Amino acid sequence: MEEQDWSDTTSADATPDERRLLNHLIQTRVRLDLDDKVEDLTIAEVIKLASGENGEAVAAFANNELKRNGIAWDDERNGVWIANDHKALKKHLEGTPWSSQWARALRRLPGAEARARDAAPIRFKREEGKKGEERARATFLPLELIE
């Protein structure tokens, strides 16, 4: 019997693809421009600020930065919407296995869900330096996935 080559196999306890994607996204660093200073934070840290734990003014700044990155905080549902198509997300995921169709992987996370087809698209901001908004279909992720 020939020896088997197991070099391309993965362990049953390996981190699932969808979790690796989320980890990559929330560890991405962005600049949050607060009135008196500029902070270099991870997207996870900006999400926590958008949740309101540091007051409404900081939450508003944080949510604006998230929206420029294709992510929107949802107070009512206590989580975030991640755009299924957004230029900033494409840049963050460039060179990764998730550079397109990231929504499919995200929807495999527990508690994740696609926005209903008959619901209005979520409003996101255009990239930094560009005015206006983009509307996009999105995938919801509860906050507990990010913490």
In a domain, 12, yes or no: no
The average confidence (pLDDT) of the chain is 88
Summarised one tens digit per residue, pLDDT across range 29-81 is 998 877 788 889 999 999 999 999 888 988 999 999 999 999 999 999 999 99
Percent of the chain surpassing pLDDT 70: 87
Q: What is the CA radius of gyration of the chain?
A: 17
Structural element, H or E, at residue 18: helix 17-27
* Residue 43 backbone dihedrals phi, psi, to 5 degrees: -60, -35
Hey, is 132 helix, strand or coil?
coil
- Within 10 A of 53 (CB to CB), how many other CB atoms are there? 10
Q: Is pLDDT above 60 for 147?
A: yes
Considering the entire predicted model, what is its pTM?
0.85
Does 82 map to a domain? yes
Structure tokens belonging to residue 130:
């560009």
pLDDT for 69 equals 94
In a domain? residue 3: no
Interacting residues of 72 by C-beta distance below 8 A, sequence separation 6+: 63, 66, 80, 81, 83, 122, 123, 124, 138
Host domain of residue 120: 17-145
Domain count across the chain: 1
* 60 within a domain of the structure (yes/no): yes
Rounded to whole angstroms, the Cα distance separating 49 from 20 reads 23
In the DSSP assignment, the letter for residue 53 is: T
